[in-house]
Amino acid sequence: MVSIFMGEQPPEPTTDGGTDSGEELEARLAAGESYDPPESFVEQANVNDPEIYEEFEENWPDCWERAADLLTWFEDYETVLEDDDAPFYRWFTGGEVNASYNCLDRHVETGGKNRAAIKWEGELGETRTYTYGDLLYEVEAFATALRDLGVAEDDVVTLYMPMIPELPIAMLACARIGAPHSVVFAGFSADALATRMNAADSEYLVTCDGYYRRGDALNHKEKADKGLRGVEQDVETVIVDRLGDELNHFLGEHAHDYDELVRAHEGASVEPVSRDAEDMLFLMYTSGTTGQPKGVKHTTGGYLSYAAWTTHAVLDVKPEDTYWCAADIGWITGHSYIVYGPLALGTTTMMYEGTPDYPEKDRLWELLEKNDVDIFYTAPTAIRAFMKWGKQYPEGRDLSSLRLLGTVGEPINPRAWQWYYDHIGGGECPIVDTWWQTETGGMMITTLPGVGEMKPGAAGPPLPGIDAQVVDAVGGPVDPGNAGYLTVRRPWPGMLRTLYNNDDRFINEYWREYSDEDADEWVYFPEDGAKLDEDGYITILGRVDDVINVSGHRLGTMEIESAIVGVDGVAEAAVVGGDHDVKGNAVYAYVILEDGQDPTESMRDRIVGGVEDAIGPIARPEAVVFTPELPKTRSGKIMRRLLEDIASGEELGETSTLRNPEVVEDIAESVGE
Ligand code: WT7
């Protein structure tokens, strides 16, 4: 976790979920060994010509026609890239396209009607398979129903749902009628739902009665209802009945039952609306440095082309594959690589509702074996948990159907990489370590599995056509081996177009303009630290802003701090990430109470409860540390780096510039207790 390093070197990442030691492995890792993809993989890979990097370079930006060509356009685009209003770039302008048509109709029309589109595994062991024909049928019915409820083109529909098939169905139904969706992760709290609905001015909500977690039924509707009470505008709600009789719920006014709506519109056909390439496909709220989440806007033509292209080139997905991305659709990974990318390519995409360790710790491997999964994509936090549980779980299952593995969300330490390679991939599957963000729409830095060698711990070179560089605090180049800021110098089709209703924040948060005699250059800052090696491989070091990455989930420290300060009796709070061997980072909250308040257990519970109410259980602090003071510089700035060192149990850095150096020792002691 790197949080501030203006002008200084960020520390090396220290996460290490190692349990699988052994001298041989240590030696291999120390030698920085690299791996070539197996010949058999290369031969069949969608992309296996190393020339692709040069081809894209020489032919930029027209090279991106290769991505756009993966889609079926209603109207051909006239221009690949328009940059006259940079950094408000526009891609494939003049083109018209529909995402639902590309993910459904065209496969049905070309012989894919009976091919499985979604294979869903419920937590209780139920399964459902939707063929492309089935999926289109239900999407059309629900799209008609949404229209009947009043949803018009460009109305934002909020989807607050867990991993049930109705979520992608609702996404595609929205896409079909040109209504952007805004999916809110089901684990987010009622307040978080309300904030996002208000920010997007969304008058429609699709949610469900509940879902299962470790065998227990959770009441989701209660949370949705509570959230709705905080929404300013009137809202029409649709409720999916996931739990049947397990949880009776009242629909109430302005609420409709999903099954009834679909039944009433069965057999309906809806023309997929012709959308301009630059029309919004969806909004996705993500955390930033302020307390207010950012509404990242993605478009129909550029985003979908990019999702399809990266699924094809990096995940090597083919229509006949069974592909499984074990993320949640509530995050961008699920949007791009469970729903849009794989369905645009006409493959079979798996969805799993439950957790990896229920009922047993081999649940994922059981599902992988049962479904003969070809490609598996997950997060390092999950891999570290698998390592901890032990190799006996994957060893008890036949995983030989696998051809390719992927990871995303946070840096993967070489030891976890190696474990994944050996114990899940059987030493025969390439691994793609894919760096990207909600804002980038799709993968940006990774090896191409049919082309490049892999180096455990380094994501890889930028993808063809992507110009990523590591720079110092003034934008100059950084020598290989040294840390700096990651930047992206050229636009790409999957990029966010703006922050919803906030063009100024879009520019301020992400872009810097450099001018020289020839031209102005806009540079994108992802807010990650990185270093480059001699071969052009990039190792990501972690966030350089006040965002922490907990189990691959992005949380804004300001959002958590404002939740804590909202608790009665709290005067001030500082939240940082501390190392955690499974989660990568854990939330550490340093709290100053108001005079006369006692640091009791019940105060701690109220603080934790306050965070859960404002954001959700994912943001729950691992530790709440009461302190009379926070370490501050003479100008009054909280020294977060010191708080991070304390949380990670590291040697404390320089304290002499502090106004109150003595407080550091006190805090360190109370954390150590
Ligand atoms: C942040 C973006 C991309 C979907 C999931 C997260 C970190 C992401 C990697 C990787 C090292 C990574 C970065 C990035 N990150 N992938 N392969 N190696 N770090 O999306 O919530 O927008 O978070 O996740 O810090 O900025 P997100």
549 plus 429 within the same structural domain:
no
Could you tell me the distance, in angstroms and rounded to a whole number, from the CA of residue 140 to the centre of ligand 1?
34
Residue 245 pLDDT grade (very low, low, confident, very high; cuts 50, 70, 90)? confident
Q: 111 or 656, which is more confident?
A: 111
561 CB less than 6 Å from ligand 1? no
Residue nearest to atom 21 of ligand 1 (CA): 554
Mean pLDDT confidence for 324-331: 97
447 CB less than 6 Å from ligand 1? no
Could you tell me the distance, in angstroms and rounded to a whole number, from the CA of residue 193 to the centre of ligand 1?
23
Q: Are 405 and 424 in contact (CB under 8 A)?
A: yes
285 plus 162 within the same structural domain:
yes
CATH classification at residue 579: 3.30.300.30
Q: Which residue has 């102005």 as its token pair? A: 520
Instruction: Collapse the DSSP code of 148 into the 3-class scheme (helix H, G, I; strand E, B; otherwise coil) and give the result.
Output: helix
105 plus 246 within the same structural domain:
yes
- Supply the pLDDT for residue 13: 35
Residue 75 pLDDT grade (very low, low, confident, very high; cuts 50, 70, 90)? very high
pTM summary value = 0.94
In a domain, 531, yes or no: no
Could you tell me the distance, in angstroms and rounded to a whole number, from the CA of residue 409 to the centre of ligand 1?
4
Mean pLDDT confidence for 308-326: 98
> How crowded is the C-beta side of 550, counted as CA atoms within 13 Å?
22
Residue 234 has pLDDT above 60, yes or no: yes
Query: Could you say which of 433, 449, 480 is where a domain stops?
Result: 433
Could you tell me the distance, in angstroms and rounded to a whole number, from the CA of residue 647 to the centre of ligand 1?
22
227 plus 105 within the same structural domain:
yes
Residue nearest to atom 23 of ligand 1 (CA): 437
409 CB less than 6 Å from ligand 1? yes
H/E stretch holding 240: strand 236-240
How many angstroms separate the Cα of 149 from the Cα of each of 11, 46, 167, 369, 626?
54, 43, 18, 42, 50
Which residues face 626 on adjacent strands? 591
Mean pLDDT confidence for 22-28: 69
Please state the separation of Cα 104 from the chain's center in Å. 24
286 CB less than 6 Å from ligand 1? yes
Residue nearest to atom 8 of ligand 1 (CA): 409
Could you tell me the distance, in angstroms and rounded to a whole number, from the CA of residue 302 to the centre of ligand 1?
20
Residue 2 has pLDDT above 50, yes or no: no
Residue 673 pLDDT grade (very low, low, confident, very high; cuts 50, 70, 90)? low
Could you tell me the distance, in angstroms and rounded to a whole number, from the CA of residue 104 to the centre of ligand 1?
29
In a domain, 537, yes or no: no
Could you tell me the distance, in angstroms and rounded to a whole number, from the CA of residue 327 to the centre of ligand 1?
13
CA end-to-end span of the chain, whole Å? 23
337 CB less than 6 Å from ligand 1? no
Could you tell me the distance, in angstroms and rounded to a whole number, from the CA of residue 551 to the centre of ligand 1?
11
In a domain, 446, yes or no: no
332 CB less than 6 Å from ligand 1? yes
Could you tell me the distance, in angstroms and rounded to a whole number, from the CA of residue 608 to the centre of ligand 1?
26
446 CB less than 6 Å from ligand 1? no
Q: How far apart are CA 98 and CA 71, in angstroms?
A: 9
Could you tell me the distance, in angstroms and rounded to a whole number, from the CA of residue 162 to the centre of ligand 1?
21
616, two tokens: 């959700």
Residue 601 has pLDDT above 80, yes or no: yes
- Supply the pLDDT for residue 5: 33
Residue 63 DSSP code: G
101 plus 248 within the same structural domain:
yes
Could you tell me the distance, in angstroms and rounded to a whole number, from the CA of residue 540 to the centre of ligand 1?
9
Of 383, 305, 402, 443, whose CA–CA distance to 581 is shortest? 383
Beta strands in 457-606 (DSSP E): 468-471, 483-488, 511-515, 520-524, 528-532, 538-543, 547-550, 553-556, 570-580, 584-593
Q: Are 459 and 314 in contact (CB under 8 A)?
A: no
Q: Are 543 and 549 in contact (CB under 8 A)?
A: yes
421 plus 549 within the same structural domain:
no
In a domain, 53, yes or no: yes
Query: Could you say which of 417, 433, 449 is where a domain stops?
Result: 433
- As a whole number, the mean pLDDT across the chain is 93
Query: Could you say which of 433, 448, 464 is where a domain stops?
Result: 433
In a domain, 346, yes or no: yes
Q: How far apart are CA 658 and CA 660, in angstroms?
A: 5
Residue 393 has pLDDT above 90, yes or no: yes
- Supply the pLDDT for residue 17: 37
In a domain, 411, yes or no: yes
Tens of pLDDT, residue by residue over 550-600, are 998 999 999 999 999 999 999 999 999 999 999 999 999 999 999 999 999
CATH classification at residue 129: 3.40.50.12780
Please report the atom of ligand 1 found closest to the CA of residue 407.
17
230 plus 357 within the same structural domain:
yes
In a domain, 195, yes or no: yes
296, two tokens: 């990242």
Q: Are 204 and 158 in contact (CB under 8 A)?
A: yes
Residue nearest to atom 3 of ligand 1 (CA): 437
Q: How far apart are CA 437 and CA 526, in angstroms?
A: 8
356 CB less than 6 Å from ligand 1? no
Q: 59 or 252, which is more confident?
A: 59
**127-131 vs 116-121, strand pairing mode:** antiparallel
543 CB less than 6 Å from ligand 1? yes
Phi, psi of 92 (to 5 degrees): 55, 45
Mean pLDDT confidence for 505-530: 89
Residue from 332, 412, 435 whose mutation best tests the ligand 1 pocket (most atoms within 8 A of CB): 435
Residue 519 has pLDDT above 70, yes or no: no
In a domain, 483, yes or no: no
Could you tell me the distance, in angstroms and rounded to a whole number, from the CA of residue 358 to the centre of ligand 1?
26
- Supply the pLDDT for residue 365: 98
Provide the domain limits for residue 148: 39-433
Residue 425 pLDDT grade (very low, low, confident, very high; cuts 50, 70, 90)? very high
Residue 469 has pLDDT above 80, yes or no: yes
- Supply the pLDDT for residue 253: 82
Could you tell me the distance, in angstroms and rounded to a whole number, from the CA of residue 289 to the centre of ligand 1?
15
Number of domains in the chain: 2
558 plus 412 within the same structural domain:
no
107 plus 244 within the same structural domain:
yes
Residue 529 has pLDDT above 80, yes or no: yes
Tens of pLDDT, residue by residue over 638-652, are 888 889 999 998 887
Mean pLDDT confidence for 509-516: 89
Which residues face 454 on adjacent strands? 35
Please report the atom of ligand 1 found closest to the CA of residue 439.
22
- Supply the pLDDT for residue 445: 98
H/E stretch holding 58: helix 52-58
Instruction: Collapse the DSSP code of 391 into the 3-class scheme (helix H, G, I; strand E, B; otherwise coil) and give the result.
Output: coil
- Supply the pLDDT for residue 518: 66
408 CB less than 6 Å from ligand 1? yes
Torsion from C-alpha of 365, 367, 370, 371, nearest 10 degrees: -110
Residue from 553, 554, 557 whose mutation best tests the ligand 1 pocket (most atoms within 8 A of CB): 554
Of 532, 531, 557, 562, whose CA–CA distance to 545 is shortest? 557
561 plus 421 within the same structural domain:
no
Residue 249 pLDDT grade (very low, low, confident, very high; cuts 50, 70, 90)? confident
How many angstroms separate the Cα of 377 from the Cα of each of 286, 322, 360, 382?
21, 12, 20, 11
437 CB less than 6 Å from ligand 1? yes
Please report the atom of ligand 1 found closest to the CA of residue 553.
21
591 CB less than 6 Å from ligand 1? no
- Supply the pLDDT for residue 7: 33
Tens of pLDDT, residue by residue over 115-145, are 999 999 999 999 999 999 999 999 999 999 9
Could you tell me the distance, in angstroms and rounded to a whole number, from the CA of residue 246 to the centre of ligand 1?
37
Residue 16 has pLDDT above 90, yes or no: no
Tens of pLDDT, residue by residue over 195-215, are 999 999 999 999 999 999 999
Could you tell me the distance, in angstroms and rounded to a whole number, from the CA of residue 212 to the centre of ligand 1?
27
Please report the atom of ligand 1 found closest to the CA of residue 445.
17
- Supply the pLDDT for residue 138: 98
Mean pLDDT confidence for 370-378: 98
Q: Which residues of 630-650 are buried (b: 16+ CB within 10 A; e: fewer)?
A: bbbeeeeebbbbbbbbbbbee
Mean pLDDT confidence for 387-406: 97
Please report the atom of ligand 1 found closest to the CA of residue 526.
26
- Supply the pLDDT for residue 467: 96
